[in-house]
């Protein structure tokens, strides 16, 4: 691809992003969500490859579900990610007061137990519910969080995404150069958020009963620093309403020596939450891609 083609794609991407910011800039959260759901319906119809991947993944994870059930959840999933996209793009309008007033918390005692260890916390979250709201909720409660994020494909879009996150106070660490900053944050007893639910080839451990390419980074960081692995999610429970779900720490006593076993435990926790909110996980992502390439499925 030539430089002018790349520049054109970047300009188009930024223009589309800016349009989304204007379109979803509604003080009425319910109105923004309705627009987001309509956007999700559109992407369900247009993005055939992603739609088919979502349905295929659902069939594999829930083999007892009918075709109609898998298609229903896939459509709801696209709607969900449309509305949380809308929620993210209206970040400039979302105040700390709004976040606190519209967020319930389940399992906060697990956070307190993790913080008491004094080694920092690795918040093991996922592309489930609304992870951007999770970070904003922590900031609104007076805590600091740094998140490890993959760079967007377009530099200008990446910059704008970073600007929106910065408005909430979240510190973003680039995945490609995050090792040293993570260690610094954990040494300061801070929280580092890692979304470890995307395809990888570090190790192949069970997820929904199937071998799944999984990152080992969170487990290695835990073993190296003593920071607590704390499964934490933010799920949507109604229009503009969310619930932060904090699960018991994994290996808080540092008794598990295998990184693969640690990630298996984390996958089990994530799977249990996905089963409760199946329409809120990113089924359109090719989570088992590496496993298929290795002929493990």
Mean pLDDT of the region 129-136: 95
CA nearest 249: which of 269, 271, 264, 234?
269
Q: According to the model, what pLDDT value does residue 15 have?
A: 86
Determine contact, residues 287/195, Cβ cutoff 8 Å.
no
Q: For residue 54, what are its two tokens?
A: 């979502």
Mean pLDDT of the region 17-40: 93
Q: Quick one: 289 exposed, middle or buried, by C-beta within 10 A (0-12, 13-18, 19+)?
A: middle
pLDDT above 90 for 296: yes
CA distance 47 to 33: 20
Q: Quick one: 144 exposed, middle or buried, by C-beta within 10 A (0-12, 13-18, 19+)?
A: middle
Phi and psi angles of residue 152, each rounded to the nearest 5 degrees, phi first? -70, 160
pLDDT above 70 for 140: yes
Residue 6's pLDDT band (cuts 50, 70, 90): low
CA nearest 141: which of 180, 108, 182?
108
The per-residue pLDDT for range 52-88, each reduced to its tens digit, is 999 999 999 999 999 999 999 999 999 999 999 999 9
Q: In the chain, what percentage of residues exceed pLDDT 70? A: 95
CA distance 113 to 249: 8
Strands 203-207 and 171-174, bridge-based pairing: unpaired
Task: Please give the DSSP secondary-structure letter assigned to residue 281.
Answer: B
Q: According to the model, what pLDDT value does residue 2 have?
A: 67
Q: For residue 24, what are its two tokens?
A: 């979803």
Please give the torsion angle defined by the CA atoms of residues 58, 132, 247 and 273, in that order, rounded to the nearest 10 degrees: -20
Q: Structural domain boundaries of the chain?
A: 3-293
CA distance 216 to 163: 29
Residue 12's pLDDT band (cuts 50, 70, 90): confident
pLDDT above 70 for 288: yes
Q: According to the model, what pLDDT value does residue 174 have?
A: 77
The per-residue pLDDT for range 103-121, each reduced to its tens digit, is 999 999 999 999 999 999 9
Residue 40 CB contacts under 8 Å (≥ 6 apart), including other chains: 78, 79, 80, 81, 82, 83, 85
Q: In the chain, what percentage of residues exceed pLDDT 90? A: 83
Strands 241-246 and 228-238, bridge-based pairing: antiparallel
| pTM score of the predicted model | 0.93
Give the CA angle between residues 191, 91, 146 to the nearest 5°.
Answer: 15
The per-residue pLDDT for range 158-210, each reduced to its tens digit, is 888 888 988 999 998 877 677 889 999 999 999 999 999 999 999 999 999 99
Q: According to the model, what pLDDT value does residue 157 have?
A: 82
Mean pLDDT of the region 140-144: 94
pLDDT above 70 for 152: no
Q: According to the model, what pLDDT value does residue 90 have?
A: 95
Number of H helices, E strands in the chain: 12, 9
- The larger pLDDT score, comparing residue 141 to residue 3, is at 141
């Amino acid at each position: 691809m030539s430089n002018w083609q790349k520049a054109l794609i970047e300009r188009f991407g930024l223009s589309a992003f800016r349009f989304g910011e204007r379109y979803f800039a509604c003080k009425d959260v319910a109105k923004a969500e309705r627009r987001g759901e309509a956007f999700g319906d559109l992407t369900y119809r247009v993005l055939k490859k992603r739609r088919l991947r979502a349905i295929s993944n659902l069939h594999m994870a829930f083999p007892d579900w009918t075709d109609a059930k898998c298609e229903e959840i896939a459509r709801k999933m696209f709607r969900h990610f449309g509305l949380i996209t809308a929620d993210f793009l209206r970040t400039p309008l979302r105040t700390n007061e709004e976040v606190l007033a519209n967020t319930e918390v389940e399992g906060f005692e697990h956070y307190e137990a993790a913080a008491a260890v004094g080694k920092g916390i690795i918040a093991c979250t996922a592309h489930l519910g609304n992870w951007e709201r999770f970070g904003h909720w922590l900031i609104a409660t007076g805590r600091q969080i740094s998140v490890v994020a993959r760079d967007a494909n377009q530099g200008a879009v990446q910059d704008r995404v970073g600007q929106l996150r910065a408005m909430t106070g979240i510190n973003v660490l680039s995945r490609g150069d995050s090792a040293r900053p993570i260690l610094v944050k954990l040494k300061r007893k801070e929280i580092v958020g890692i979304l470890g639910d995307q395809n990888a080839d570090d190790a192949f451990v069970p997820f929904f009963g199937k071998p799944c390419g999984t990152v080992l980074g969170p487990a290695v960081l835990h073993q190296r620093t003593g920071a607590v692995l704390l499964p934490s999610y933010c799920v949507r429970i109604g229009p503009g309403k969310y619930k932060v779900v904090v699960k018991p720490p994994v290996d808080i006593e540092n008794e598990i020596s295998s990184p693969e076993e640690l990630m298996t435990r984390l996958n089990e926790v994530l799977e249990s939450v996905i089963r409760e909110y199946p329409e809120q996980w990113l089924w359109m992502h090719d989570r088992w891609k590496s496993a298929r390439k290795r002929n493990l499925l």
